[in-house]
Structure 1
């Protein structure tokens, strides 16, 4: 799907706002379209230094490329190219649902994820410290305590960056799959 054209400031403010580096999404439809929006990537990656902006942009663009790939249903055809662009060969994975390291292993893992047609969650905040980027994503999730409603599920994840690519990842998921959602304690 081609990138969406830039929205006017008035249109953008109706969909999302970014204050203090944190995005607030006002339009539920934006959860389905964020990965096609250069204005969102630009706004969320803004930082006082070019280095920090570049690190944030790398992580956001990676998440957007994954989202577009998953929604297109063309994981087999696209995963190697996406990962080659963003991931080092000797990538280290610290997620119990992806027990292995290296770009090739990660590509195989993406090929096994069931495609549901749901848009992957958008980033809403990024914090950079040294070579680490902490990413916070947001997804409306069915509320088990109030059937027919959703709540905001916030998903943290951390990447280490080396030589302009993602070199290591820590995920917050518990064993059981990325589609399992937050499990009760």
Structure 2
């Protein structure tokens, strides 16, 4: 009788056990965080290892200007940055960095290439953290370049985003909406002049 009870209990436990979802695979990613774990994991990763304002070279005008020049050069041939009287000039602002709490440098503008016009946002920061896992739904593909730079790529019909994690600790987040191809976004993310170690 005891054996029968144990057997029935095993069957019931098996019926109540929910099957585990199949592991998510993302090209180039050794570890993938599934969507249901994103909230829990994000709390552990936010700002961890990021440099503060006193450590970033783009707090100085010469470096911020050199990065702006590098960004302009990295735009595709024929690209036009549309003037906006109600927004800051397209480029990195050292004063804004010094006044920030996180030491991030941001450049935002409206760009026209051929018959397409859209927005381009570039954010640069410095981190001592190693390259982490890929987040499902945030990264479509991870690519490692010959110099060790890691690219996390997300691409859709009208928008592309590439986050470059360079070996000197520079993080370069490039997002284009309504303009630029994925290859053009990658070119910007890989621009040497945007890195912390590049001379001003």
TM-score using structure 2 length = 0.27
Larger radius of gyration: 2
TM-score using structure 1 length = 0.29
Greater relative contact order: 1 or 2 (C-alpha under 8 angstroms, separation 6 or more)?
2
Higher helix proportion, which one?
1
